[in-house]
Chain A
Amino acid sequence: MNDFDPQANQDVRHMLGEALGIARRRCWVFIIPAAAGALVALVYTFTYPRVYTARTMFERRDSLVLSNLIHSYQYSPYSFAKLQQSIYVDLKGYKAIERAVEDLGLDKDLPRDEKGELTEAGRRMKQAMVNKCAGQCEVYLQEKSDAHDIITIVLPSKDPVFATELVTKLRDNYIKNVQERITKLLTNAQEYFQKELDKKRTQVGGLEAELVQFRSQFVGIDPADPEGAVNRVAALRIQKQNLKRRIEELRVEIASNEASLGKISTATTQPGTDDGKLKVVSVRVAPVPTKPNPAHAEKKGRILQIEKQLLEMKMTMTEEHPQVRRLRQRLAYFAEELSRTPATIPGPRSSGATAERTAGGLTPEQRVRQHEIARTQAALRSLKRDIAKTERELKAVDERITRYDAEKDTVLERREEFLRRQSDLATTRGDLEAELKRCNYVGQLINAEKNKRGLTFTVLENTQVSTKPVSPKVGRLITVSLGFGVMVGLGCVVLLELLDRTFRSVSQVGSALQLPILQSIGEIITPELRRRRMARQVAMHAAATVLIALVCAASGLVYLSLEKPQEFERIKGNPGLVARQLVGSGP
């Protein structure tokens, strides 16, 4: 743990001693050149070009209504955010500055060929000029709001007039360009949306025509409700069964009537006739009176009502929906009930029919039988007509069932297409509405722009040049000058130390000459020597004082030239007056 190195400590002390010795011995060698160097550097700084800044401030503002309108519509082509994003390029981009340079005619002195075009060297010089301006130009946004912004353009330059003209031109060009661009943008947007609107209208017309054609292709069938067709087939099948049952009932009734007719005919044969045969007497039998079955009508009405409900539900629900399924069950139930319920019921017998009539001298019983025969025959004829009618109906139902069965698959296939076209139509109609809104919106914007209620620019601060140079910085300049002086002083000290071949220490003499050192004798300070030294010290102090005073004065002038140029120009114009003022302001 014993890190102490006596030798190293001694070396450090020796080096420090040497350094202190050099500092003491060469103090004037340092001070005088350092002050002179600083003075020279400060004087040189007066030749350093001063950089001024030209600055302008303007405001971009939009009306609140317009801003809200823009924000409310996400597809707006007129976006302040886009303006803000491109503001740096629009203001200090290469093209913007190149255009300003051309507008100001700053490139007129560049080398050109016979045609007046810039030569290669001229293009390069112009490019360098524009790049330099672009690199130096600064744009600051203060508000950074979409609808309102305060824009400041700052351009540092050694030539204030040039900077002022360029900044003003950049600002004016930007305002002009933005307004032109907005107008062009809105016009293009309106044209585009109008084209889109026409296109959507054409699409809607085409889709509507296709749907009409589709419906006309499948008359009586709602392509949108294929399940309804199936139900309808089922109902027809039930109806067919009912008709068949009806036919069987009619046939049974016919058979019954024919049997009763045969009995009646046998019973009405008269025994007193010659041939002993029964004389058949045609008896007009009155038809059995019937009336519509109210239960049948009621059930049929219920079925129609349920089918209507099903059709309505199919517009919004699928077959799997509980309500639809419940309705289907009810429909099947009523259809079955309907099939069991006869369409007609026997009506009340008329009083004339019961009156016994005599004919040909028949007995009342015979007349009754004849009447029965006639009635039964009439019933038979009626039944046969009913059978024929029912069989026709059955045949028609069979045809419809066959046709439905044949078209059912086709309808199902077309259903998707139909629905897709319906959806396309709805979408296209929505797009059409949107395009209409856009057209109206852009129209409003164009009107606002025309009425000067859109984007407005206001110059808040005209182009002004800074009252004092922004570069070089006074602190940095003075520091660098003083640092240069210090470096000069140190350089002189180091140079003299390097060139110094004299002996400086006893050990140096001993090692160089290999002779014994008898004694080291100090300096004998005689009064003459003391006087000389004193005079030298006074001269050095005086020189250093004068030089430091000059350095301070030069620093002050540098400060004035950078921080108070007007004051500096006044002093430069009349140094005698300032000297008299200084003397006068003294004690």
Chain B
Amino acid sequence: MGRIAEALRKAEQERTTTFAASGAAASGVGLMDPPAEATGRSDEDVARHTTGGVAMTSDDQVRPAAFDHATWVGRASASLVTLHGRDSMLVEQYRALRTRLASQNPRARSRVLAITSSTSGEGKTVTTANLGVVMAEVKHHRVLVLDADFRHTALARLFGMKAKPGLAEVLKGQALIEQIIQATPMSNLELISAGDTSGINPAELLNSKRAAAVFDDLRDRYSYVLVDTPPSSDVADAGVLGQLADGVVVIIRMGKTSQPVVKQMVQTLQASQVNLVGCVLTGAADSSSQYNYYSDYASRPSD
């Protein structure tokens, strides 16, 4: 037990050091080359892009995070295991997911990934958040987690950040996109919450041209945009978001998700010409056994 505790402590120290050195180059750690326009863009480049007719000026730059990392960790939900670093085995599983996504997307063509599931409660939001954190661990990535679930906004609360303004305000034309992007203590991880969803028609908003423009802009801005979507069996938003995104990752909760519902969802998405990247199984009871060695390995201090 002592060795494991020591390994956890060293891993935490390493992570803290990594966060402290955010913005520094992480050469040799990256899994892929980020698009050139996603890094080191000039204000002019940004100004060329319009988002729903709203001009992007230098005044609209994303403001830095208003709290430090420790405060963030304290405010974030306990489900954000990759941030808390409590369960190194789970963190390694999310890192493995990051690696699989990168290997399936060698040229980084699918940068906008919609994460959906057939029913609620399967782990979309948690997976989106944790995947965003582990992707942001790669220094040359700029990662955005986007809450597009207007019916059950939870991503901002999970990160312990503001729920408003968010995507709804941008789609309604009430705010610029830079105004809704929330920086996190991790320099290359940003968040867009769902915003004020009262009185809106999500399907109408998501089917608008503005939505497509916003997604195009975000695709240009970030290495990866992880979109949290509503359950596809409840509403049709997931299909729309899947068409807006470059790929769709299906979340399946073991022992909970019904097979016919999942099959129906997959058939529907495939009929909508959505790029199904793959599926992630959550709540796997026996996944720990195959990671025993790796969990121990992950807990060791890095050399």
A residues in contact (CB < 8 Å) with B: 21, 25, 501-504, 506, 508-509, 512-513, 515-528
Contacts and interface: CB of A to CB of B under 8 A. Distances in A.
B157 interface: no
Given A502-B257, A519-B94, 7 more contacts: A502-B259, A515-B279, A516-B278, A517-B280, A518-B100, A520-B93, A521-B284
B279 A517 contact: yes
A521 B90 contact: yes
A504 B260 contact: no
Contacts of A519: 93-94, 96-97, 100, 280-281
Contacts of B96: 519
A81 B189 CA distance: 109
Contact of B93 (A25, A502, A522, A526): A522
B255 A513 contact: no
- Chain A CB within 10 Å, residue with most, of B126, B249, B257, B259: B259
A527 B79 CA distance: 9
B166 to A, nearest CB: 24
A528 B259 contact: no
A520 B285 CA distance: 10
B263 interface: yes
B254 A517 contact: no
A342 to B, nearest CB: 151
Nearest to A530: B78
B78 A513 contact: no
B204 interface: no
A503 B250 CA distance: 14
Nearest to A528: B78
Contact of A21 (B257, B266, B286): B286
Interface of B: 77-79, 81, 87, 89-90, 93-94, 96-97, 100-101, 104, 123, 126-127, 249-250, 252, 254-260, 262-263, 266, 276-288, 291
B278 A512 contact: no
A522 B263 contact: no
Contacts of A509: 252, 279, 281
A522 B277 CA distance: 20
Contacts, number: 109
Contacts of B78: 526-528
B255 A521 contact: no
A229 to B, nearest CB: 128
B269 to A, nearest CB: 10
Contacts of A25: 255, 285
A518 B282 contact: no
Nearest to B261: A501
A503 B288 contact: no
B213 to A, nearest CB: 29
B147 to A, nearest CB: 19
A467 to B, nearest CB: 56
A501 B97 contact: no
A165 B260 CA distance: 70
Report, nearest first, the 5 A-B pairs whose CB atoms are least far apart.
A519-B97, A516-B278, A518-B278, A526-B78, A520-B281
Given A503-B252, A509-B281, A513-B279, A521 B127 contact: yes
Given A519-B97, A521-B94, A502 B282 contact: no
A518 B249 contact: yes
14 contacts: A25-B255, A502-B259, A503-B255, A513-B262, A516-B277, A517-B281, A519-B93, A519-B96, A521-B90, A521-B94, A521-B97, A521-B284, A522-B287, A524-B126
B287 A521 contact: yes
B74 to A, nearest CB: 14
Contacts of B101: 518
Contacts of A518: 97, 100-101, 104, 249, 277-280
Contact of B263 (A513, A517, A524, A525): A513
Nearest to B258: A501
Contacts of B259: 501-503, 508, 512
B266 A513 contact: yes
Given A518-B249, A521-B287, A522-B90, A503 B277 contact: no
A109 B162 CA distance: 90
B256 A521 contact: no
A521 B93 contact: yes
A508 B281 CA distance: 11
A487 to B, nearest CB: 25
A39 to B, nearest CB: 29
A523 B252 contact: no
A503 B87 contact: no
Contacts of A501: 258-260
A520 B254 CA distance: 9
A504 B266 CA distance: 18
B254 A504 contact: yes
A495 B281 CA distance: 25
Contact of A523 (B77, B280, B284, B291): B284
Nearest to B77: A526
Given A502-B254, A502-B257, A515-B250, A522 B284 contact: yes
A502 B255 CA distance: 5
B284 to A, nearest CB: 4
Contacts of A506: 281, 284
Contact of B284 (A502, A513, A520, A528): A520
A379 to B, nearest CB: 165
Contacts of B100: 518-519
A513 B61 CA distance: 43
A527 B89 CA distance: 17
Contacts of B278: 515-518
B79 A524 contact: yes
B37 to A, nearest CB: 27
Nearest to B250: A515
Contact of B280 (A21, A504, A521, A524): A521
B279 to A, nearest CB: 5
Contacts of B87: 522, 524-525
